[in-house]
Chain A
Amino acid sequence: MNAMPPFHVTQATRTSRVAVLIALALLIALAAAPWWAGRADMRLFSEIFIYLALASLWNLLAGFTGLVSVGQQAFVGFGGYMLFALAIFGGVNPLLTLPLAGILGALIAIPVGALVFRLSGAYFAIGTWVVAEVFRLGFAQVSALGGGSGTSLPAAVVREIASGRSLRESIVYWTALGLVIGVLALVYGLLSSRQGLALTAIRDSEVASESLGIDIWRTKFLVYVLTAGATSMIGALVFLQKLRISPDAAFNVNDWTAYVIFITVIGGIGTIEGPIIGTLLFFLLREALADLGSAYLMILGLAAILVMLKSPRGVWGFIVERFGVELFPVRRRVRFAEPGGEDLAGVSAEAAVAGGRDGSAGCRPAPRPSR
């Protein structure tokens, strides 16, 4: 047998390197938005960032960890209410409440997670919904925070961010931009790390990964708590923008779960690029169908169903299959060193080695039977 040629393991692809350059340029443009974009545009960008962050987090939870939650609005609302509680009663600077809300969200996710993890599959999903309902009903009972009708952020508190309105809006905008970059970095970092490999292994086969020593329960629980914390932070940001909170707005299933799920599913669940594509499509569709009201949600729902039935990997999955691109590569490729420096056909860690037997005499080569 010949010795195996020297090889190294890489993650980047040529496309991804190009994409990084484009992303950097985009980032610089977005950071400069307060100087070239109007107020309405900045609010739209912030909204896009928020949905992109929420979708990426939900995707991490459902697409990569297999925990389908329809109750993430619990943490969005919780984060929002923590902003109000800490700023109004704790005298904390509103901007500082964001990371605090994140920590508190992660902390409360521990007992919540311990409860809902007793359920699995779709029952887990409904369980998360019940928890969100409990949060909603609970906060509606807190009269100090406005009870059932909610409350607004006092002007004095708002001024703590900055004294001038345009500076305030810029600061909130940059916070949103910073947060979404942080979330994307967190998700990508997690998935390309060894934890991420563990997650993919769990998703592909729980039995196999357990036999390899991966503690499934703990890994999933960790992701759940982390996602909850990040979602709470985003929730605080959402209501920092709105300056007003109420139980129905804070824990709204449509705003914080239905849209997020549809974005992720249509964009491509289980891929990092999916939520990006999905968010862009979502906002494009919203512009195009602005007048349709609830019919818009129906169309989204229909699109999500069609995607799930026909192309479960979503729009991005379709693109990957057709063109083989990958912007955020997490799979590892083995590259063998060849004299010309060319690498062999990228054999990703998951690909099976092709067979290559001839048919026996007497039978013509048979086409694959279609399923």
Chain B
Amino acid sequence: MDWLNTILQGILLGGLYALFAAGLSLIFGVMRLVNIAHGDLIVLAAFVALVVLQATGVNPLLTLVAVVPAMAGLGYLLQRGIFNHALGEDVLPPLLVSFGLSVIIQNGLLEAFTADSRKLDAGAVEVASFALGSNVVIGYLPLLMFVSAVAVIALLQFVFYRTALGRAFRATSDDAEMARLMGHDNRHIFGLAMALSLAIVAIAGVFLAVRTYFDPSSGPARLIFGFEAIIIGGLGNLWGTLTGGVILGVSQAIGAKIDPGWQLLAGHLVFLAVLAVRPKGLFPRVEG
């Protein structure tokens, strides 16, 4: 039954990967921007949580109260200050600007915090678990992460399809010029989208910090996991992204069980296999 446990761990890990991916997917959907600094922003959020923790001593999970608004505000400023000026017809500037941002964040964190690995201690909840049947053990923290991922995605779906803001996002994504004729200030709309994306990044960052050791160079791997979840699951479909994250998590878990050095490689190979066989992903959104 060990395999069952492994697969279960993989599924729950997939929730975290879906969290990594959700913010990335949101931004691509609204403004066709792929933020290469996304993973580094997750790590930044983790370090912000660390700072809040050191200042206040609360349980790491409670730092969300401060980290989420902080990252959301940063997202709005980043978008209006930098990304809005790079967006346009050409695909090169936003890509290179976000790459530059990625390098700046990584090295900034390195200067501020050194290369030491850290982890936030959430206390009892980290190891608390419950048993399901005789052989299966589920940790509360992984379960919480997975449930949070589902909740976040459900929230995003709600915002996108049932609110005026979501209407604005979809319209601006369809036809930015016409959206302006509806009275929308696109600069503001994009700013809100990035704020929302970084709010999700904040949640992902805090969970990352509690779950595993992280250091300033941990960003790119997170970006890659989120990206792989999106591609496996299918572009434009958030529930597909969750599925993609789960598939990735399970692949990594199985790989790790075979040989610890194979954890990452297994995930990448599954990603490449999906890319080869189903380039649009498993559940792509079909455009009308």
Contacts and interface: CB of A to CB of B under 8 A. Distances in A.
Direct contact of A and B (CB under 8 A): yes
Interface of A: 62, 66, 68, 70, 115, 118-119, 121-123, 125-127, 129-131, 133-134, 137-138, 140-141, 148, 253-254, 258, 261-262, 265, 269, 293-295, 297-298, 300-302, 304-305, 308-309, 312
A308 B100 contact: yes
**Dominant SS at the A interface?**
helix
Nearest to B91: A121
7 contacts: A115-B275, A119-B275, A122-B33, A133-B264, A269-B96, A305-B97, A312-B90
Given A123-B231, A129-B220, A115 B108 contact: no
B57 interface: no
Interface stretch (B44-52, B164-172, B202-210, B222-230): B222-230
Contact of A304 (B96, B228, B268): B96
A133 B108 CA distance: 23
A148 B264 CA distance: 14
B101 A130 contact: no
Interface of B: 28, 32-34, 36, 82, 85-86, 90-97, 99-104, 106-108, 110-111, 220, 223-224, 227-228, 231, 261, 264-265, 268-269, 271-272, 275-276, 279
Contacts of B94: 122
Contacts of A70: 36, 99
B95 A68 contact: yes
Contacts of B103: 254, 258, 297-298, 300-301
Contacts of B108: 298
Q: Which of A137, A253, A295 counts the most B-chain CB atoms under 10 A from its CB?
A: A137
Given A130-B271, A137-B264, A301-B103, A309 B220 contact: no
A126 B223 contact: yes
Contact of A115 (B86, B101, B220, B276): B276
B90 to A, nearest CB: 8
A262 B272 CA distance: 28
Given A126-B36, A137-B264, 14 more contacts: A62-B92, A70-B36, A123-B34, A127-B231, A148-B261, A258-B99, A298-B104, A298-B111, A300-B103, A301-B103, A305-B97, A305-B104, A309-B85, A312-B93
B36 A125 contact: yes
A300 B104 CA distance: 8
Given A68-B92, A118-B279, A137 B99 contact: no
Given A115-B275, A122-B91, A130-B272, A305 B82 contact: yes
A304 B97 CA distance: 7
Contacts of B34: 121-123, 125-126
Contacts of B271: 130
A265 B228 CA distance: 27
Contact of A134 (B92, B220, B268): B268
Contacts of B276: 115, 118
A254 B34 CA distance: 20
A295 to B, nearest CB: 6
B217 to A, nearest CB: 9
A297 B137 CA distance: 45
Contacts of B272: 115, 130-131, 134
B107 A298 contact: yes
A9 B110 CA distance: 54
Contacts of B100: 262, 301-302, 304-305, 308
Given A115-B275, A130-B272, A133-B264, A125 B95 contact: yes
Contacts of A66: 91-92
A265 B92 CA distance: 10
Contact of A265 (B96, B101, B223, B264): B96
A308 B86 contact: yes
B32 to A, nearest CB: 8
B93 A309 contact: yes
A309 B107 contact: no
Contacts of A298: 103-104, 107-108, 111
Nearest to A309: B85
B77 to A, nearest CB: 14
Contacts of A131: 272
B265 A134 contact: yes
Closest CB pairs A-B (n = 5): A122-B34, A118-B279, A301-B103, A294-B107, A301-B100
Contact of A301 (B95, B107, B111, B231): B107
B269 A134 contact: yes
A280 B36 CA distance: 27
Nearest to A302: B104
A118 B33 CA distance: 18
Contacts of B111: 293-295, 298
Given A301-B101, A302-B100, A126 B92 contact: no
Contacts of A302: 100, 104
Given A115-B275, A129-B220, A261 B99 contact: yes
A345 B178 CA distance: 41
B224 A130 contact: yes
A204 B140 CA distance: 54
Given A122-B34, A125-B36, A309 B97 contact: yes
Given A123-B227, A304-B96, A308-B96, A118 B265 contact: no
B280 to A, nearest CB: 9
Contacts of A305: 82, 96-97, 100-101, 104
A301 B82 CA distance: 13
Contacts of B107: 294-295, 297-298, 301
A51 B189 CA distance: 41
A130 B230 CA distance: 14
A92 B279 CA distance: 40
